[in-house]
């Protein structure tokens, strides 16, 4: 069986041109005029942009947290991602205290196997840095997990000391891996949280007020310093704060291999959302928290100038009913996380391309090509090229998308962007040459997603 995609405009991180595609065996085998003419199946892409499938480098499906479990599993989460044009999700397997790394990896592989609708890869959360886990990083890299997430937050659960972080950085420098950092000063934040609760401050807004932006900036600067000493690359996840962006920008200007990631919620939403009436502000409780508007403006500018490299979602949904409500009367018990995997591309197209902050090439770079390169998936993923997987998004630049919990496909009872009207609409989505989304119609299959092995990070 062959598939032809005809009459579209192909857009990559570096090129834009009119051409047809010929797809066989799940991969692009030819690009050019007339190459689709003899294909047994045809898709007419007239008026549509043909983009590489999105890669969301930060999701949390079936994640136990705060006495509950994130509402999307690998079936519902990857299906929702596909509806939004994301064909590959990189999720986080978790090593808990006292476990071996392989135990966590095997557990998350089992969660995805037979359920994922789209392709998936893994990072490894390392909660217990010790000689055994440092040694076992090699086996994980050989298994296709080349990035390891450490925390400067959550004392007693995930927090690693500076010495432990430094040893992990040294090890990944030796092995050709990559450390990801959750950069917040967890010790200071815990003191502020306890002080707020003791003073009777229990509302959702205090989640933000006890996690100041300077605590993120300080930790980001410290993480970069540790990486520089170790001679290792470092990737800072879900960045929100101007102080943190400045630290990354200065490091990149000095030629260090430092990569910054932000998320759509930090570009569109602000600290004011925590002040919505009643308990509604709990919808937006995530870590790091939403910031005042000037921080969001700084993030947009950083994306324009390549000071930040990737936009992911940190998709970690918890329903308001029964889950977020666990923190009613105590903001520190609200499960941290929000939904977003379905609308990342539309939000970035609307605010970035239609909003004239950056062009289509930059849009493709930050949503697909950069994560593919940083996590060793390129050129199989992240571009439209002969030999690449035929993961394609056919985007209608003149169409519109309306976001609502009533129509989204994520398994959660609210949207952080309820009622927003966005320019740009995902018309069709192909996963390895199979049409899985056609407008509002689901044509994919549960379990069709494949595990994709990550490789050594490229230098960007």
Instruction: Please write the tens of the pLDDT for every residue from 191-247.
Output: 999 999 999 999 999 999 999 999 999 999 999 999 999 999 999 999 999 999 999
> HSE-up of 436 (CA within 13 Å, CB side)?
32
Could you give the domains of the chain? 52-374 (3.20.20.140)
The overall average pLDDT reported for the chain is: 97
Mean pLDDT value of segment 427-453: 98
- Angle between helix axes 293-304 and 242-253 (nearest 10 degrees) is 20
Per-residue pLDDT at 459 = 86
Residue-wise DSSP of 98-139: T--HHHHHHHHHHHHTTT-SSEEEEEEEES--SHHHHHHHHH
Per-residue pLDDT at 149 = 98
Say yes or no to pLDDT of 24 above 90: yes
Instruction: Please write the tens of the pLDDT for every residue from 275-322.
Output: 999 999 999 999 999 999 999 999 999 999 999 999 999 999 999 999
Would you place residue 1 in the very low, low, confident or very high pLDDT band (cuts 50, 70, 90)? confident
d(CA 142, CA 52): 27
Token pair for 184: 């917040």
Mean pLDDT value of segment 31-35: 96
Cα four-point dihedral sign 381, 383, 388, 394: positive
Would you place residue 39 in the very low, low, confident or very high pLDDT band (cuts 50, 70, 90)? very high
Instruction: Please write the tens of the pLDDT for every residue from 349-376.
Output: 999 999 999 999 999 999 999 999 999 9
Per-residue pLDDT at 169 = 98
Scan for tokens 């690449």, then name that residue.
388
Per-residue pLDDT at 423 = 98
pTM above 0.85, yes or no: yes
CB 367 within 8 A of CB 312: no
Residue 170 CB neighbour total at 10 angstroms: 18
Mean pLDDT value of segment 369-398: 98
Is omega for the bond preceding 166 within 30 degrees of 0, making it cis?
no
Would you place residue 66 in the very low, low, confident or very high pLDDT band (cuts 50, 70, 90)? confident
In 3D space, the residue among 119, 249, 229 whose CA is nearest the CA of residue 170 turns out to be 229
């Amino acid at each position: 069986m062959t598939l032809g995609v005809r009459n579209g405009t192909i857009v990559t991180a570096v090129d834009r041109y009119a051409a047809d595609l010929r797809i066989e065996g799940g991969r692009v085998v030819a690009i050019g005029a007339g190459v689709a003419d003899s294909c047994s199946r045809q898709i007419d892409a007239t008026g549509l942009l043909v983009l590489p499938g999105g890669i969301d480098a930060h999701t949390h499906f079936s994640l136990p947290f705060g006495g509950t479990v994130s509402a999307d599993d690998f079936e519902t989460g990857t299906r929702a991602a596909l509806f939004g044009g994301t064909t590959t999700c990189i999720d986080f397997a978790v090593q808990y205290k006292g476990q071996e790394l392989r135990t966590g990896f095997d557990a998350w592989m089992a969660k995805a196997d037979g359920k994922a609708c789209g392709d998936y890869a893994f990072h490894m959360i390392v909660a217990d840095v010790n000689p055994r886990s440092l040694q076992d990083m090699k086996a994980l890299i050989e298994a296709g997990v080349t990035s390891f997430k450490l925390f400067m937050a959550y004392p007693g659960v995930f927090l690693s000391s500076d010495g432990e972080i430094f040893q992990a950085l040294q090890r990944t420098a030796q092995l050709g891996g990559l450390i990801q950092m959750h950069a917040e000063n967890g010790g200071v934040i815990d003191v502020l949280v306890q002080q707020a609760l003791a003073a009777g401050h229990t509302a959702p807004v205090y989640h933000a007020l006890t996690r100041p932006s300077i605590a993120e900036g300080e930790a980001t600067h410290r993480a970069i310093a540790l990486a520089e000493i170790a001679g290792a690359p470092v990737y800072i996840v879900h960045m929100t704060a101007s102080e943190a962006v400045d630290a990354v920008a200065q490091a990149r200007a000095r030629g260090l291999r430092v990569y910054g990631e932000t998320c759509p919620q930090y570009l569109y939403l602000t600290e004011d959302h925590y002040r919505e009436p009643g308990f509604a502000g709990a919808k937006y409780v995530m870590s790091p928290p939403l910031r005042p508007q000037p921080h969001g403006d700084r993030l947009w500018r950083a994306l324009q100038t390549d000071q930040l490299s990737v936009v992911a979602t940190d998709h970690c949904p918890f329903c308001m009913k029964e889950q977020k409500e666990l923190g009613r009367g105590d903001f520190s018990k609200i499960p941290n996380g929000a939904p977003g995997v379905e609308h990342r591309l539309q939000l970035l197209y609307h605010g970035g391309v239609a909003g004239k902050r950056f062009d289509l090439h930059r849009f493709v770079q930050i949503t697909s090509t950069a994560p593919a390169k940083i996590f060793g998936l390129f050129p199989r993923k992240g571009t439209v090229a002969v030999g690449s997987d035929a993961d394609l998004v056919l985007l209608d630049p003149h169409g519109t998308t309306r976001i609502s919990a009533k129509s989204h496909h994520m398994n959660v009872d609210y949207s952080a962007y309820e009622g927003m009207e966005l320019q740009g609409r995902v018309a069709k989505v192909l996963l390895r040459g199979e049409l899985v989304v056609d407008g509002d119609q689901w044509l994919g299959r549960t379990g069709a997603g494949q595990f994709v092995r990550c490789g050594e990070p490229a230098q960007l």
